[in-house]
Amino acid sequence: MSGTTDAEGGRLAGRVALITGASRGLGAAVAERYAAEGAHVVLVARTVGGLEAVDDRVREAGGTATLVPSDLTAAGQIEALGAAMLERFGRIDVLVASAAGLGALGPVTHSNPKLWRETLELNLFSVLRLVQVCHPLLRQSSAGRAIVVTCRVGREPKAYWNAYGVSKAALDMLTQLYAAETAKSPVRINLIDPGPLRTQLRAAAFPGETPEAVPEPATVTEAFVRLAAESWTATGQCVDATELCRSGGQAASFAN
């Protein structure tokens, strides 16, 4: 692993940020924004080519990154990632759990149990393992921040969203339990709902939608910066990214 950035002036200068799902879409946009704010970004995803493309953009903009091609559903890979972070950096300042899969949309009564298990493995159980592995490293930070990407369909049941909706509902509870159990620690844990964005997951869910009808992922990255900053003190919130970008404060949360 390469060393941390010594960039000055950014709101995340000197911070080490681990971002999953960082090869494209929202994860890539967050990684590029964090790097622009001075963080050293550790990019985790399965697609090597995608990671390299993000790395190129980060470096062209003067930032630094470490690439970690990894399948979060494969046995032992999250544990190996944690061990590497401990050896190289000794801490994690910001964890962004962005990786997710849509699975298959359709009636619950006709759903495929194998696809359910695969969707839950990535969207839920990989985050559980990340929390377990990364929490000791977040505790080594002066201001550890964990940010978990959620979706409204986990709070508002919508027909045919199948395992994806169930995984997000369970993910919300997992994150809030984690926040409640660590409320007296320096680590701040929050959910963030980015809303509709122009991503491959969105295109798969809405194949007839005009891509230009939804905003680019970069439009909500300001919210991720605020949640990652040492100045963010709230924990256990579910934050609307668009509203937080508009408000400029810490009150843009909504009830589950």
CATH code of the domain containing 127: 3.40.50.720
**Is residue 2 included in any domain, yes or no?**
no
**So what's the pLDDT on residue 9?**
73
pTM over 0.75: yes
What is the helix, strand, coil percentage profile of the chain, to 5? 45, 15, 40
Rounded Cα gap, residues 145 and 189, in angstroms: 6
Q: Is residue 3 part of a domain?
A: no
Q: Which domain holds residue 177?
A: 16-247
Give the total number of structural domains in the chain: 1
160 is catalytic: no
Q: Is residue 29 part of a domain?
A: yes
Mean pLDDT per block of 10 residues along the chain (256 residues) reads 51 98 98 98 97 98 97 97 97 98 96 97 98 98 98 94 97 98 97 96 94 95 97 96 84 46
Q: Tell me which of 34, 160, 164, 178 is the catalytic residue.
A: 164
Mind listing the pLDDT tens digit for each residue in 82-102? Answer: 999 999 999 999 999 999 999
- The pLDDT assigned to 123 comes to 98
The Cα–Cα gap between 80 and 133 comes to: 9
* Predicted pLDDT of residue 8: 61
Residue 256 in domain: no
Q: Give the separation between CA 56 and CA 54, rounded to whole angstroms.
A: 5
